[in-house]
Structure 1
């Protein structure tokens, strides 16, 4: 990985080798026990990845900031649009991509530059977020998705990324990395367990826990729950309008036709790269073999034993 290291970040001391026996893996750096994507030079501008991500904890927040917290591919984009509509009181889609509000992507200076009202998003654990999240009791909304669909969605996302971030391995290899944590943002089980423990250690910390599947089953109820948590006086009719405007089909179309571009290329040429792929519950059944599913269950259930997390794996 020496060539990749010098090309992506000449100041990075050493990159962990996350390649498997077939030579497939991810280009990541490690900070505070977590693997994170090495960001492109256009974003870093000569800075070290570790130095920039450290600045996130020192960012100044406002009392009315809102943070969406989630593991990758669990519904962050979707939830962001819902919250922005509820806050603005209008059915209006965001022209920016959610990465323009992603804490580990814009760092301290970017976080502080966002004008209010501010809805941020992150895949980081609580300990790596701004210290003021806990100090000011900033409202956080955690959205969770069943791990099998999250795994499938994350795989399709990674395999469509440009080099050197793109993943070249097959689904079975990716699943192994997903369970072992040898991928950006670590294993989903560790993320959930860490989040639960860190929130529990922060007294009277306002968190709303949502499930992706529940938002699919009953979007109007979910929108109402979010409005209530944020103490917004949204009418039932408006919540219904928000739920309808933020259906997966409409969100996918908006992403294709309206969203602005990132400051660098993200998807491979000729790929079907998109932040909105299928959005279905139970698509994992089209990817896992019987043996792979049994192995996944065994490992996942052991890691999450007595954790209290319960997921929905099939549509009602």
Structure 2
């Protein structure tokens, strides 16, 4: 049994190489020495960091931003998986030959770099060099459901045999890779007014992807891209397109069993309603209000399109 930060609770599931780093739980693919090296990573002022909690639409945003920064070079995008064009900074997989720090260091500028880290564990130069930072938020109920399916399909998290109620409790207590969603979210929200930051909501992208892409292009200074080009980027980056695109669907990744659950599974808003019981939903809402009570202003998450439920 494993103890985790916060309330004293134990869980049967253990991540491969599980360890705590500055109070945050990580799997073995983000080992302590890599997390140490991330702190010393040499940031460039023209870098673009994509900051997300796992399963918040990361791959979607990676493809969009890479295409915008590379003048919608679809042919180049078709020649290399997105995880090699936009490295996962704190990730190290020797089998896959995917070492985020090495890939990032070898990339030409401007670099698009993905991370799931809370603010306190970011490279120290992030706040000195002031690169552009895009923070993508998704409502936590859908994040939790998506993460549950990912846990079941990916060997990176071990042979998870738990059920939905167990995983929900693990998620609430931060006993998942990259730790507490609450801590991650609260660490980044205060940066929303910084001029080099842009906060984007997954649900807004689902409502009007083209408009969000236009705003991202403006934030990135890509005023040379025509409306027609931006429309092509939106079409290329639709969920349906990315799900069948071998450069974005991760079906080549040995650790993901797509027959259990593909990386790009549904891409919907409100799927949590298919998982949460009434009691679980009430308990989640109570925990959310307690954890997020001090945030001013509150984060305008949209939990559903059906009944316009917002928090």
Query: Alignment partner of 2:198: what SS?
Result: strand
1:101 equivalent to 2:87? Answer: yes
Give how far 1:274 is off: 2.2
Aligned to 1:33: 23
Match of 1:303 among 291, 295, 303: 291
1:55 equivalent to 2:37? Answer: yes
Change (3 A) 1:300 1:224: same
Unmatched 5+ stretches in structure 2: 92-98, 307-311
Q: Deviations over 1:169-191 (max 9, x none)?
A: 11111111111111111121111
Aligned to 2:12: 23
Give how far 1:261 is off: 3.9
Mapping 1:206-285, distance limit 5 Å: 206-233=196-223, 234-255=225-246, 261-262=252-253, 265-268=254-257, 271-285=259-273
Give how far 1:50 is off: 1.0
1:184 equivalent to 2:173? Answer: no
Give how far 1:98 is off: 2.2
Mapping 1:167-178, distance limit 5 Å: 167-178=160-171
* Mapped contact 2:250–2:263 kept (Cα < 8 A): no
Give how far 1:91 is off: 5.2
Give how far 1:108 is off: 3.9
Change (3 A) 1:242 1:179: same
Aligned to 2:96: none
1:157 equivalent to 2:150? Answer: yes
Give how far 1:25 is off: 4.2
1:83 equivalent to 2:71? Answer: no
* Mapped contact 2:39–2:123 kept (Cα < 8 A): yes
CA RMSD of aligned residues (A): 2.6
Give how far 1:22 is off: 6.7
Distance in 2, matches of 1:25 and 1:214, equals: 35
Aligned to 1:69: 51
* Mapped contact 2:67–2:73 kept (Cα < 8 A): yes
* Mapped contact 1:55–1:107 kept (Cα < 8 A): no
Distance in 2, matches of 1:109 and 1:132, equals: 17
Query: Alignment partner of 2:245: what SS?
Result: helix
Q: TM-score, normalised by structure 1?
A: 0.83
Query: Alignment partner of 1:104: what SS?
Result: coil
Distance in 2, matches of 1:299 and 1:173, equals: 16
* Mapped contact 1:132–1:138 kept (Cα < 8 A): no
Unmatched 5+ stretches in structure 1: 2-15
Query: Alignment partner of 2:45: what SS?
Result: coil
More helix by share: 1
Distance in 2, matches of 1:125 and 1:213, equals: 21
Give how far 1:257 is off: 8.4
Aligned to 2:134: 141
* Mapped contact 1:101–1:121 kept (Cα < 8 A): yes
Q: TM-score, normalised by structure 2?
A: 0.84
Instruction: Please identify, of 102-111 and 220-229, the stretch whose mean Cα deviation from structure 2 is larger.
Output: 102-111
